[in-house]
């Protein structure tokens, strides 16, 4: 296939780009050096428009094809890294202490650059396409900020697509599904205030640690007793803080955790039950307890037509046997959800073979799969916006 063969010729350049990005990670919205590198490459490719500073450090590039098309395809890559100290020992390891590309966003950016280079050189599509280089996927909700900044309307995007690499999935294979593919993520905190005192005289206190334990146990009943066994729901307590020494009952305690759902109705139920449980348990233990429930990224929901189309393109690039179009739903979250709320589109996972897991200090993106991802993006545009013959 011409697109695959041509992009394969970029492999050495793409590896160099990716390893440069890996060595210079940036967090959240502060992806300025990364954006500068992206802009420099885009200028070399001769794209038609480059727009900088969207959502602080995001970059949008426009490439004009031949002829006209009512479809304007948006392709998104995330650019930010994670606050993790790298332990790979690689020659291209992070040079920024406490920061690393542990989720492969360096690879995602490289794949979109490779597709952009091919599309700018060949222009074998009608109308125009939009390349979206987004900061702050890892908790900052950069996709939502870009949508709020008007990216979809400003550039006339009619549909949008993205890829994420997956360790442990066969190298170069794809999986996706129609409907929810990744979960909504909410955060809860419980701040408990009792009456502290000497550990030898607990009768004189209102123990916030006992209340913490009661609340923690009761919250687990939301999954087992308030949700259907067919609902996909996770309630995990991930932080517990209380006390400073062995002979003092503290004044306060703290619980924090995460909720993962796919249904807004289940999400509403969890928040309601948490409020009821915290209030009831606090009353039973004689303490004050305040729940702070924060809704984060919504569920990532793929659109049927775009998902079927993306699966066809993936099969063309990788082979039909390497594509699963009814893959599993993942309990992780992804801010691309905001773009899919704004426009129809699809999110796909691409296998990178065996490696350390995502968000692991020994993780590294597999450079061998970057041309496959770039070829998918490029061929998707050619198929979505064909030149009239």
Together in a domain, 278 and 311: no
- Domain encompassing residue 69: 2-179+299-384
Together in a domain, 16 and 107: yes
Together in a domain, 121 and 267: no
Check the CA dihedral 316-320-326-327 and report its sign.
negative
Together in a domain, 147 and 82: yes
Together in a domain, 54 and 203: no
pLDDT confidence bin for 69, thresholds 50/70/90: very high
**Rounded to the nearest 5 degrees, what angle is found at the Cα of 38, between the Cα atoms of 32 and 44?**
140
248-249 and 174-175 strand pairing: unpaired
SS3 letters across 240-261: EEECCCCCEECCEEEEEEEEEE
Q: Is the pLDDT of residue 389 over 90?
A: no
Coil/strand/helix, residue 346: strand
Per-residue pLDDT tens digits for 240-297 = 999 999 999 999 999 999 999 999 999 999 999 999 999 999 999 999 999 999 999 9
Q: How many CB atoms lie within 10 A of CB 221?
A: 13
Q: Is the pLDDT of residue 44 over 80?
A: yes
Element (H, E) at 6: helix 2-8
Which residue, of 275, 295, 315, is where some domain finishes?
295
Together in a domain, 157 and 220: no
Together in a domain, 26 and 101: yes
Together in a domain, 192 and 248: yes
Q: State the helix-helix crossing angle for 11-23 and 105-122, rounded to 10 degrees.
A: 140
Q: What rounded mean pLDDT belongs to the chain?
A: 97
Check the CA dihedral 141-149-36-380 and report its sign.
positive
Per-residue pLDDT tens digits for 99-131 = 999 999 999 999 999 999 999 999 999 999 999
Backbone angles phi, psi at 37, to 5 degrees: -65, -45
Q: Domain containing 225 — which CATH number?
A: 3.30.70.360
At 102 the pLDDT is 98
pLDDT confidence bin for 19, thresholds 50/70/90: very high
Which residue, of 295, 329, 363, is where some domain finishes?
295
pLDDT (mean) for 168-185: 98
pTM of the model: 0.95
Distance CA 29, CA 23 (A): 18
Q: How many CB atoms lie within 10 A of CB 155?
A: 18
Q: How many domains does the chain have?
A: 2
pLDDT (mean) for 330-338: 97
Is 389 a domain residue? no
At 388 the pLDDT is 85
Instruction: Report which of 1, 55, 73 is spatially closest to residue 314, judged by C-alpha positions.
Output: 1
In the chain, % of residues over pLDDT 90:
99
Which residue, of 295, 325, 354, is where some domain finishes?
295
Coil/strand/helix, residue 361: coil
At 285 the pLDDT is 97
Q: Which residues contact 213 (CB under 8 A, 6 or more apart)?
A: none
Together in a domain, 291 and 308: no
């Amino acid at each position: 296939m011409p697109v695959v063969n041509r992009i394969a010729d970029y492999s050495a350049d793409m590896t160099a780009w990716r390893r440069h990005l890996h060595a210079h990670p940036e967090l959240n919205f502060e992806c300025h050096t990364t954006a500068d590198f992206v802009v420099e490459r885009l200028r070399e490719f001769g794209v038609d428009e480059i727009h900088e500073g969207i959502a602080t450090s995001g970059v949008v590039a426009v490439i004009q094809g031949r002829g006209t098309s009512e479809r304007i395809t948006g392709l998104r890559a995330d650019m930010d890294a994670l606050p993790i100290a790298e332990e790979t020992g690689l020659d291209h390891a992070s040079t920024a202490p406490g920061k690393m590309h542990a989720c492969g966003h360096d690879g995602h950016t490289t794949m979109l650059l490779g597709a952009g280079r091919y599309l700018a050189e060949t222009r074998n599509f009608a109308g125009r396409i939009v390349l979206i280089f987004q900061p702050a996927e890892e908790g900052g909700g950069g996709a939502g900020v870009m949508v709020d900044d008007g990216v979809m309307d400003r550039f006339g995007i009619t549909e949008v697509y993205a890829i994420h690499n997956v360790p442990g999935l066969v190298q170069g294979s794809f999986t996706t599904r129609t409907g929810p593919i990744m979960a909504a993520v909410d955060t809860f905190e419980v701040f408990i205030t009792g009456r502290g005192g000497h550990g030898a005289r607990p009768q004189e206190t209102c123990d916030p640690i006992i209340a913490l334990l009661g609340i923690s146990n009761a919250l687990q009943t939301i999954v087992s007793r308030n949700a259907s066994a067919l609902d996909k729901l996770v309630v995990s307590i991930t932080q517990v803080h209380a006390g400073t020494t062995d002979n003092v009952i503290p004044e306060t305690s703290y619980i924090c955790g995460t909720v993962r759902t796919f249904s807004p109705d289940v999400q509403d139920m969890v928040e309601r039950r948490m409020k009821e449980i915290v209030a009831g348990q606090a009353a039973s233990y004689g303490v004050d307890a305040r729940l702070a429930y924060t809704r984060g990224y919504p569920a990532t929901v793929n659109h049927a037509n775009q998902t079927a189309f993306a699966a066809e393109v993936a099969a063309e690039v990788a082979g039909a046997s390497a594509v699963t179009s009814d893959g599993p739903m993942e309990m992780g979250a992804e801010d691309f959800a905001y773009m899919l709320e704004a426009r129809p589109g699809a999110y796909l996972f691409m296998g990178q073979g065996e490696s350390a897991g995502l968000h692991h200090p020994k993780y590294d993106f597999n450079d061998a799969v970057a041309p496959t991802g770039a070829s998918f993006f490029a061929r998707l545009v050619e198929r979505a916006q064909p030149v009239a013959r």
